[in-house]
């Protein structure tokens, strides 16, 4: 696994370089897009980004789990989980070593 991490600052710097907005405008644009995505997910909506993938929220019911060390059964509360399903285009790019396709 790579130790490199893409951050919000990296994204806003890329927008600054590629689009030509000021650094402040680029940072605000990135924040606005991320806020729209997270707001939609909080509302339970699906977020589909063409050629990238789909983010969605799924409700998981309560169930009984088992502590692997002790074998003791423990209840697991119902919860909402975030899922991401990459597009076939993204899967293919990742599998081919990130060459533009």
d(CA 4, CA 22): 25
Q: In terms of DSSP bridges, do strands 63-66 and 79-86 run parallel, antiparallel, or are they unpaired? A: unpaired
Number of domains in the chain: 2
From edge to edge, which strands make up the β-sheet containing 79-86?
47-49, 53-60, 79-86
- Kindly indicate the confidence band of residue 3, based on its pLDDT and cuts at 50, 70 and 90: confident
Q: Indicate the pTM of the whole model.
A: 0.76
pLDDT given at position 86: 97
List pLDDT tens digits, range 6-27.
999 999 999 999 998 999 999 9
Q: Are residues 11 and 36 in the same domain?
A: yes
List pLDDT tens digits, range 45-96.
999 999 999 999 999 999 999 999 999 999 999 999 999 999 999 999 999 9
Q: Are residues 29 and 59 in the same domain?
A: no
CB 15 within 8 A of CB 7: no
Whether the CA torsion 17, 21, 23, 28 is positive or negative: it is negative
Q: Are residues 71 and 89 in the same domain?
A: yes
Q: Are residues 38 and 53 in the same domain?
A: no
């Amino acid at each position: 696994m790579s130790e490199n991490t893409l951050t919000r600052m990296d994204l806003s710097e890329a927008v600054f370089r590629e689009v030509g907005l000021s650094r402040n405008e680029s940072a605000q644009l990135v924040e606005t897009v991320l806020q729209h995505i997270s707001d939609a997910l909080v509302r339970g909506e699906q977020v589909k980004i063409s050629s990238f993938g789909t983010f969605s929220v799924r409700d998981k019911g309560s169930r009984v789990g088992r502590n692997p060390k002790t074998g003791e059964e423990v209840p697991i509360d119902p919860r909402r989980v975030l899922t991401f399903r990459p597009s076939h285009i993204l899967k293919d790019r990742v599998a081919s070593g990130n060459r533009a396709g």
